Amino acid sequence: MSKMEVTSTEVFQKIDVQDRQSISSDLKALFKTGIIQSNVMTAFAGFWVALFYNNLQVQNHWLLLLVTLAGTAGIIAGGCILNNYYDRDIDPVMSRTKQRPTVTGSIPLPVILGLGVALSILGVILLLFTTWQAALLGILGWFAYVVLYTMWSKRRYTLNTAIGSLSGAVPPLIGWAAIEPELSLPALALFALMFVWQTPHFLALAMKKTEEYRAANVPMLPVVHGFAVTKRQIVMYIICLFPLPLFLSSLGVGFMLLASGLNVGWLGLALKDFNKKDDLRWANQLFVYSLLYLTVIFVSMVIFTLPAVI
């Protein structure tokens, strides 16, 4: 093989790798894989904790678990894709969204729309193989995200964050309903935990991206009412998390102490630099902590109940 042939082969190989990387990046942006991963994690925790409360072992329900998680992932992916499709007119002005394929045109819009609808339907069908209650909850979560949040409230009201939080709080209920269709108090506590957690999480993000939301004409709380009001709202929502571990006391003293410690840590971090001028640094610290909080508290639910469920 000549030197020219080797060089040509290397060039085509590089192009092929770049194409695969580009497709992978487009799909990650389109599916919002971070959202899917976090919601599947909470659905798994809901399923797992339901096993614990009903004195069941996971080894007898592993297929049901896989179908539940696949259905949850499908309906969330479908909702995220449709959210991207609808927001394609405002995404170009925001740095974190302007590379989505709905903006760049790397994937045709009819394909994106069809994919969003197909995955949404597939997710519901899969959840119907668990319980109809789990499927109904999936539909309600999808409706809250796609219709109530994306199409109705996001561009009109500062309450869009709370409305969007309804959909994000549903996955633990889907997991729970696959095991126990009649939702008990601990299941509702998981819903409340996710619902309350999301507001300080997303308000902190909104503070970081205030100018981008302003440019996109999205009425996030810091855009309309400023940082001072937003910071007070964040602190109030964090305080609302404090009683929730009490409703999950059956998970054990270890979980109660850990969850309470996470709440105290979050509030302490919020109050520490509350009156300082660097609001963006304050928001970034709380945003990072919120991600740690979510992961630790839901993973710990599984760890503390591991002996009983295994």
Structure tokens given for 302: 């599984």
Q: How confident is the model at residue 122 (pLDDT cuts 50, 70, 90)?
A: very high
Q: What is the pLDDT of residue 10?
A: 53
Q: What is the pLDDT of residue 19?
A: 56
- Asked whether residue 69 carries a pLDDT value surpassing 70, the answer given is yes
Q: What is the pLDDT of residue 31?
A: 85
Cα radius of gyration rounded to whole Å, the chain: 21
Section 69-81 average pLDDT: 97
Per-residue pLDDT tens over the stretch 177-197: 999 999 999 999 999 999 999
Q: What is the pLDDT of residue 7?
A: 55
Q: What is the pLDDT of residue 230?
A: 97
Q: How confident is the model at residue 212 (pLDDT cuts 50, 70, 90)?
A: very high
* Cβ 226 vs Cβ 279: under 8 Å: no
Q: How confident is the model at residue 29 (pLDDT cuts 50, 70, 90)?
A: confident
- Asked whether residue 123 carries a pLDDT value surpassing 60, the answer given is yes
| pTM (predicted TM-score) | 0.91
Letter for the amino acid at 84? N
Section 65-83 average pLDDT: 97
- Asked whether residue 67 carries a pLDDT value surpassing 80, the answer given is yes
Q: What is the pLDDT of residue 20?
A: 60
Structure tokens given for 107: 């994937």
- Asked whether residue 15 carries a pLDDT value surpassing 50, the answer given is no
Q: Which of 265, 269, 247 is nearest to 256 (CA)?
A: 247
Calpha distance 210→183 (Å, rounded): 38
Query: How much is the mean pLDDT over the chain?
Result: 92
Section 255-279 average pLDDT: 95
Q: What is the pLDDT of residue 215?
A: 92
* Cβ 263 vs Cβ 246: under 8 Å: no
* Cβ 190 vs Cβ 172: under 8 Å: yes
Q: Which helix (H) or strand (E) holds 194?
A: helix 185-208
Section 105-129 average pLDDT: 96
Letter for the amino acid at 157? Y
DSSP annotation string for 207-251: HHTHHHHHHTT---HHHHHHHHHHHHHHHHHHHHTTTGGGGGGGG
Sign of CA dihedral 57, 42, 98, 208: negative
